[in-house]
């Protein structure tokens, strides 16, 4: 099927075609696009806008196309621009004119907004699962090393002795806030825009609540112009991901420092490190360093979508095609970082004696020694690290 060109005297220039296509990256939305189309077709039939036999042909054809894509048999065509037109064109080839009924009562504008929301909901759930896995690993490390003492730092200077478990559980708390941010963003992502049309709704008696139920959305959008042009949910995901990556980067920085001979608190497993190309004696903490570096990449995607959105008038503008590549890359970067980071943490080996020795040096108990007794002593008795500091004080500083 060729797009209508009634007011155009020329075909699109090939350079323009290459510049404007999005199938090279939005092909990964095929599952969401097909799911949305199936729900839409069934609703049209239920509302008697199209016949049930037509809807059945459409659904059967879409399911067959999904199978072709998953088996690697589908030929994506950049000339058809995006995932929507690629699937719709193939549907025409498979079932004929009935395919034309699928686009009744919708636009590519509300179609793509639906696809990307479905994808974002899945991405949020994946992030929370991975963050909970990170928390579980941190809890396991804390439990396994609950008697290990390390120097705590301020200004990168040894300050007071603390439990290694207490130190690790600081990152548990950070991950908990990350989960809360993603969960909160999910509520605003869980809104169906389909039925908004291009911007002003559609002149058909559609049932948006039926589509919302079929696709698992909690509610439908209330303003059609906002629905097709809103990308706040992507910005919220990017922001939550940026903060989560910042937390991982802080932990990565400590692992990089702690694994040096100068610190010697931890050894990173060989499976999560590399050697030098010229200095074979070295073990480089590449996973931690890459996590630190990829954080800036995620920050960049957040600034990119904010900049894309800042000057857009209502409603849809082609600028919004730029919402996907950075978003997809952020999802992939966050998920892969969480997966590999969790694996690395599970295999860490801590040098308890070295950490304890450093905790005893540099007058780290000066605060405890300088102000013994009194109200402060009673307050400190409630501290998780108080008994360990007392033990060190008795041993001498």
Q: Is residue 178 part of a domain?
A: yes
Q: Which of 12-26, 30-44, 329-343 has the lowest mean pLDDT?
A: 12-26
5 falls in which pLDDT band (50, 70, 90)?
A: low
User: Is 137 in contact with 345 (CB distance < 8 Å)?
Assistant: yes
Catalytic hit among 155, 166, 249, 259:
155
Number of domains in the chain: 3
Q: Is residue 312 part of a domain?
A: yes
Question: In 3D, which of 326, 325, 322 has the Cα closest to residue 298?
Answer: 326
16 has pLDDT over 90? yes
Q: Is residue 324 part of a domain?
A: yes
Catalytic hit among 107, 276, 301, 304:
276
Asked if 180 and 49 sit in the same domain, the reply is no
Asked if 319 and 380 sit in the same domain, the reply is no
> What is residue 59's predicted lDDT score, i.e. its pLDDT?
98
C-alpha span between 315 and 4 (Å, rounded): 22
Asked if 296 and 381 sit in the same domain, the reply is no
CB atoms under 10 Å from CB of 3, counted, come to: 11
Strands 191-192 and 219-220: parallel
C-alpha span between 85 and 79 (Å, rounded): 9
325 has pLDDT over 90? yes
User: Is 175 in contact with 247 (CB distance < 8 Å)?
Assistant: yes
Asked if 81 and 140 sit in the same domain, the reply is no
Q: What is the CATH number of the domain that holds 261?
A: 1.20.200.10
57 has pLDDT over 60? yes
**What's the whole-number mean pLDDT along residues 2-24?**
81
CB atoms under 10 Å from CB of 30, counted, come to: 21
Question: In 3D, which of 115, 327, 113, 130 has the Cα closest to residue 236?
Answer: 327
Last residue within a domain, chosen from 87, 104, 121: 104
> What is residue 361's predicted lDDT score, i.e. its pLDDT?
86
Q: Is residue 218 part of a domain?
A: no
User: Is 22 considered catalytic here?
Assistant: no
Asked if 148 and 232 sit in the same domain, the reply is yes
Asked if 234 and 377 sit in the same domain, the reply is no
Q: What is the CATH number of the domain that holds 53?
A: 1.10.275.10
> What is residue 385's predicted lDDT score, i.e. its pLDDT?
59
Question: In 3D, which of 197, 205, 231, 397 has the Cα closest to residue 310?
Answer: 231
> What is residue 375's predicted lDDT score, i.e. its pLDDT?
47
127 has pLDDT over 50? yes
User: Is 241 in contact with 258 (CB distance < 8 Å)?
Assistant: no
pLDDT tens, position by position, 237-291: 999 999 999 999 999 999 999 999 999 999 999 999 998 889 888 899 999 999 9
123 falls in which pLDDT band (50, 70, 90)?
A: very high
DSSP 274: B
Structure tokens, 49: 């806008």
121 falls in which pLDDT band (50, 70, 90)?
A: very high
DSSP 106: -
The share of the chain scoring above pLDDT 90, in percent, equals 84
Last residue within a domain, chosen from 53, 85, 104: 104
pLDDT tens, position by position, 164-207: 999 999 999 999 999 999 999 999 999 999 999 999 999 999 99
User: Is 276 considered catalytic here?
Assistant: yes
Q: Is residue 80 part of a domain?
A: yes
Asked if 271 and 141 sit in the same domain, the reply is yes
Q: Kind and range of the H or E element at 152? A: strand 149-154
Asked if 287 and 388 sit in the same domain, the reply is no
318 falls in which pLDDT band (50, 70, 90)?
A: very high
**What's the whole-number mean pLDDT along residues 148-169?**
96
The DSSP string of 294-317 is HHHHHHHHHHHHHHHHTTPPSS--
Q: Is residue 210 part of a domain?
A: no
Asked if 42 and 177 sit in the same domain, the reply is no
Query: Which residue is listed with tokens 């804390």?
Result: 142
CA atoms within 13 A on the CB side of 105: 23
Q: Is residue 230 part of a domain?
A: yes
Asked if 30 and 177 sit in the same domain, the reply is no
pLDDT tens, position by position, 366-392: 777 776 554 455 555 555 555 555 555
> What is residue 1's predicted lDDT score, i.e. its pLDDT?
44
**Range(s) of the domain holding residue 52:** 14-104
C-alpha span between 116 and 235 (Å, rounded): 12
Q: Is residue 340 part of a domain?
A: yes
Asked if 314 and 301 sit in the same domain, the reply is yes
41 has pLDDT over 80? yes
pLDDT tens, position by position, 67-100: 999 999 999 999 999 999 999 999 999 999 999 9
Strand partners, 361: none
Structure tokens, 172: 């548990």
| pTM, to two decimals | 0.91
Last residue within a domain, chosen from 79, 104, 129: 104
User: Is 308 in contact with 322 (CB distance < 8 Å)?
Assistant: yes
User: Is 273 in contact with 287 (CB distance < 8 Å)?
Assistant: yes
User: Is 349 in contact with 255 (CB distance < 8 Å)?
Assistant: no
- Alpha helices (runs of H) in the chain, residue ranges in sequence order: 14-20, 23-26, 30-46, 52-70, 83-95, 108-144, 164-189, 208-215, 224-229, 232-258, 286-309, 324-346, 352-360, 366-370, 374-380, 386-395
User: Is 126 in contact with 312 (CB distance < 8 Å)?
Assistant: no
Asked if 24 and 142 sit in the same domain, the reply is no
> What is residue 364's predicted lDDT score, i.e. its pLDDT?
76
């Amino acid at each position: 099927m060729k797009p209508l060109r009634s007011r155009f005297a020329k075909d699109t220039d090939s350079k323009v075609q290459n510049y404007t296509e999005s199938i090279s990256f939005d092909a990964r939305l095929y599952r969401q696009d097909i799911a949305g189309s199936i729900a839409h077709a069934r609703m049209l039939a239920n509302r008697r806008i199209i016949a049930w036999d037509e809807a059945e042909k459409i659904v059967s054809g879409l399911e067959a196309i999904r199978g072709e894509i998953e088996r690697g048999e589908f030929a994506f065509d950049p000339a058809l621009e995006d995932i929507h037109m690629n699937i719709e064109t193939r549907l025409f080839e498979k079932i004929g004119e009935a395919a034309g009924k699928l686009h009744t009562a919708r636009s590519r504008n509300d179609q793509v907004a639906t696809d990307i929301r479905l994808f974002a909901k899945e991405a949020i759930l994946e992030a929370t699962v991975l963050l909970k896995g990170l928390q579980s690993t941190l809890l396991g490390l804390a439990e396994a090393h609950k008697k290990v003492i390390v120097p705590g730092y301020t200004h990168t200077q040894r300050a007071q002795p603390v439990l290694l478990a207490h130190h690790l559980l600081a990152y548990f708390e950070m991950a908990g806030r990350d989960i809360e941010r993603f969960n909160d963003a999910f509520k605003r992502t869980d809104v169906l825009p389909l039925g908004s049309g291009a911007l002003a709704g559609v002149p058909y008696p559609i049932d948006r609540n039926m589509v919302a139920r079929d696709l698992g959305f909690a509610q439908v959008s209330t303003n059609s112009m906002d629905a097709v042009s809103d990308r706040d949910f992507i910005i919220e995901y990017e922001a939550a991901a940026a903060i989560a990556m910042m937390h991982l980067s802080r932990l990565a920085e400590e692992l990089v420092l702690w694994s040096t001979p100068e610190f010697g608190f931890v050894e990173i497993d060989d499976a999560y490190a590399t050697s030098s190309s010229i200095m074979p004696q070295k073990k480089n903490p590449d996973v931690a360093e890459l996590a630190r570096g990829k954080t800036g990449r995620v920050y960049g995607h957040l600034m990119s979508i904010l900049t894309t959105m800042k000057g857009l008038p209502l409603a849809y503008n082609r600028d919004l095609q730029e919402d996907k590549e950075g978003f997809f890359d952020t999802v992939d970067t966050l998920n892969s970082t969480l997966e590999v980071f969790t694996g690395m943490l599970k295999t860490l080996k801590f040098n308890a004696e070295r950490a304890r020795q450093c905790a005893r040096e540099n007058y780290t108990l000066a605060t405890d020694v300088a102000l013994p007794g009194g109200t402060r002593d009673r307050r400190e008795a409630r501290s998780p690290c108080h008994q360990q500091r007392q033990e060190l004080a008795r041993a001498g500083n």
